[in-house]
Amino acid sequence: MSGAVDLAAVKARSDAQARAAEAPAPAPGGYVIDVTEATFQAEVLDRSFQVPVLLDLWAEWCQPCKQLSPVLERLAEAGGGSWVLAKIDVDANQRISQALQVQSIPSVFAVIGGQLIPGFQGALPEPQVRDFIDAVLQAAGEAGLTGAGAPPAEGDEPAAEPPAEPEDPRFTAAEEALEAGDYDLAVQRYQAILDSEPANSEAALALGQTRLLKRLDGVDAAAAQRADTAPDDVDAQLAAADLAFASNNISGALDRLLTTVARVAADDRERVRMRLVEYFDLLGPDDPLVSDARRRLARALF
């Protein structure tokens, strides 16, 4: 996995996928929706595991918004369910605007599988808007999102769907344990896959995520709160780093442990080093934060 662990939650992501699977696809003619703070989770984040969702952040007083919004609405309807347009009034939903760090409107973002993708600001010409939508649809297709899709034209035969790959019962068993909250059993089952297939990167990633979830489930909140005032308390530093990492504050988690590893004694240093290695594995080798953190770790150790 390249990039930050998104939305603080491997489990939250799994829950969102489950909710999206149970939710009905957008009805014909329902491809433009008004979204509020109360409906953002269901209509944007959860829905984005079904189809890509474009966010149109606007306000009544914004003249460029009145130029762009009709274009987006028309293209959404023409898309026939291949994507959904979520319209957000920034005046009525200021917390969404603040969370997205919107600097000016109109602003457009895309959300695919819970991942926020920066778009553009201002009322772009329609050809450029189409180019952005095409890029979003391509990314969604690569992520396995096909959208509700438009109905086939008269006389057209529906395309045959490729046969689904059979599920690996070992992963199914591990995921069932994870969904039940039995982290120890999930760890055991993912580890068993790795024992038989040491190069199975999917199992390795899932094992690392499950270990993080297990630690978070039993995190000592008091210890985490002590971290800033007790720099030599390794347990506090590890707990605070896990909380930061799971909250998508990846730089903060890495910085905290890199500072700690240079300060503590040998046994504790190894504990911190191993936690950093776990983070590196979760982020993936292509994440730019990883290469920088590895260099800093090497300097601290040697």
Whether 24 is catalytic: no
Q: How many CA atoms lie within 13 A of 78 on its CB side?
A: 8
Burial 69-82 (b: 16+ CB within 10 A, else e): bebbeebbeebbbb
Quote the CA–CA distance of 262 and 296 in Å, as a whole number: 10
Query: Do 204 and 224 touch, CB atoms closer than 8 A?
Result: no
Other Cβ atoms less than 10 A from the Cβ of 119: the count is 20
Residue of 45, 54, 57, 65 marked active site: 65
Residue of 62, 86, 112, 137 marked active site: 62
Q: Which helix (H) or strand (E) holds 108?
A: strand 107-112
Quote the CA–CA distance of 199 and 40 in Å, as a whole number: 39
Q: How many CA atoms lie within 13 A of 107 on its CB side?
A: 16
The residues that bridge with 57 in the sheet, in sequence order, are: 88, 107
- The residue written with tokens 């790959």 in the block is 165
Query: Do 198 and 188 touch, CB atoms closer than 8 A?
Result: no
Write out the DSSP string of 228-239: TT-TT-HHHHHH
Whether 65 is catalytic: yes
Supply φ then ψ for residue 219, to 5 degrees: -65, 140
Of the candidates 136, 125, 132, which has an alpha carbon nearest to the alpha carbon of residue 71?
125
Query: Do 51 and 21 touch, CB atoms closer than 8 A?
Result: no
Which residues, including other chains, have CB under 8 Å from residue 190's CB and lie 6 or more apart? 174, 203, 206, 207, 210
* Residues known to be catalytic: 62, 65
